Chain A
Amino acid sequence: MPALHHKVVRQVVLTCVSLFAVTASYAEIAVVVHPANNSTLDKNAIERIFMGKNTNFDNGRAALPINAAKGSATREVFNSAVIGRSDAQVNAYWSKLLFTGKGTPPKELGSDQDIIATVSANEDAIGYIDAAAVTSAVKVVATFQ
């Protein structure tokens, strides 16, 4: 019986690991800017722009951050990997600022295609999309999963 028990546990663990691996590979995101944007953007700089703590790129131009839709898989990965907080925590952070007149959350766009269209047309825009959806119209500055 102990052998059977061991086998079952092993099967469960393997199933969990494979499920996790599938989820992780699906959810790789790419942070994208206009191809002409030459500013340095590490994880901390991206986080500060999306939390409203930096309003400019390091090239001096005003940054226009664009969020994916609430509840989307890319937004969840972005909040967790870049901001280091859950969707709920980030939404709560912005509701405090919005309803006290101290900040406005990033604009939201509904699809990766909409984000690519906006970022490729606006030199100041920065967004994130599913890494598999990247096209040559935008420049990838970082990937996260």
Chain B
Amino acid sequence: MKYVKLFCIFVGLVCAFSSRAELDISGYGSIIAGKTLGTVDDPINLGERRDEVFTADFYDVGQYNNDITFKAESILAVQGVYTISSELSITAQLVAKGVDDFEPEFDWYYVTYRPNTDWTFMAGRRNIPMYYYSEFSEVGYAYPWMRPPANLYWWQITQFNGFHAAYSFQLGSLNHTITAFYGDERDEENKEMQYYEVLYGNTEVYRVDEFWTNIMGLNWVIEGDFFDIRMVYFTNDRDRTRYFNDGSTSVSTPFSQTFMGIGGAVHWQAWTLLFDWNFVDYDDTRGTEFPTYLISLVYNWDTFQPFIAYSKADHERTKVPTEDLEEHKLWSFGVRWDFHSNVAFKFQFDHFTDQGYAPTQWNYHGDARVISMGIDFVF
């Protein structure tokens, strides 16, 4: 509640002291309920059965099991943009998530400087522009599905503090925007990494800190009238510290990570094709790689958008070749219905198949079939 008060004070001050009160308030949200449909052999506690568990939000560990819950991925967000001048503005997003018992936090805050229509500079806290949907993955209203495929959007870090410089230009009928970014994220008490410690029964670990530093890269977006393509490349350094109950700590061997990808959307008559291909590469001793992709087809029929999506994630080691690692695929079917001018109802069925290698317990997710439904809105 501390943040709500701070935000109210911020809004009050802005209104009181600004002669022109150039504050624009908008927001988005999702109220979604869901559950998994059955049970599976527990991949880690061998010989036991457990509920199918589907992770809808890896970063926040928002999960569905056999009990209906609204908390896995419901979210409410308010954005305030305070325009100081035609070149300068301040943006903040106060976000309350079901996984945090709706305790609001300032997830985004940044200053934007636009000296002319070609250049945009931003500094502050924003999402890392990784996958095609990474920057707006929580704005459910912006895409047809319930969520971007959770088996790709699985990273323990999604945000960073940093700088962005974007240059926009037009070539023929195509709009280009090239964005360079640089920043750091030092996440103390990382929720997702702590979840894995608990999952594997490492009860002696009570805290994991995850550091992604020197995050440095480029996005290149090309937009035509009927399509857009986005390319991404960035590198960063990776460090991790685990804290044990006996007071000791362990620091993992640092390595650097490279992320690249190409994704986009093509609109053809009533059809929309959405795709994203990505490749993550570590310079560690194992030569770790994560090739992932997504392909989805949407039919736009009046206020209805039935869709189908397929996504696939793999884990490879090129220096010590083995297939005994993590691998999974996800089929999603559903429909979005825009029954109101700024509210959409969605219904989705997901079938997650864990293709990880059982003897090494890299199949730790387990198969899951999940039904979810709810509304996404903007205001």
Contact = CB atoms under 8 A, between A and B. Distances in A.
Q: Do A and B bind each other?
A: yes
Contact of B93 (A92, A99, A104): A99
A37 interface: no
A95 B175 CA distance: 19
B342 A70 contact: yes
A86 B300 contact: yes
B338 A88 contact: yes
Contacts of A56: 117
Interface size on A, as a range, is 20 to 34
A101 B300 contact: no
B200 interface: no
Closest A-B pairs by Cβ, 4 of them: A71-B341, A88-B338, A70-B341, A96-B142
Given A44-B225, A95-B141, A99-B136, A84 B344 contact: no
A47 B267 CA distance: 15
Nearest to B141: A95
B231 interface: no
A99 B79 contact: yes
A92 B223 contact: no
B364 interface: no
Nearest to B139: A99
Interface residues of B, number: 40
A56 B117 CA distance: 9
A85 interface: yes
Contacts of A92: 141-143
A145 to B, nearest CB: 18
Contacts, number: 77
13 contacts: A53-B170, A71-B341, A86-B303, A89-B272, A92-B143, A95-B136, A95-B142, A95-B378, A96-B143, A98-B79, A99-B79, A99-B136, A100-B127
A91 B302 contact: no
A55 interface: yes
Interface string B333-345: 0001010111010
A87 interface: yes
B330 interface: no
A50 B292 CA distance: 35
A48 B91 CA distance: 26
A55 B344 contact: no
Given A88-B303, A88-B305, A95-B28, 4 more contacts: A47-B225, A70-B342, A85-B300, A95-B141
Contacts of B344: 88
Contacts of B152: none
Contacts of A104: 24, 81
Interface string A74-99: 00000000001111110111011011
A101 B303 contact: no
Interface string A11-53: 0000000000000000000000000000000001001100001
B112 A101 contact: yes
B135 interface: yes
Interface in A51-77: 53-56, 70-71
Contacts of A87: 303, 338, 341
Contacts of B110: 101
Contacts of B120: 102
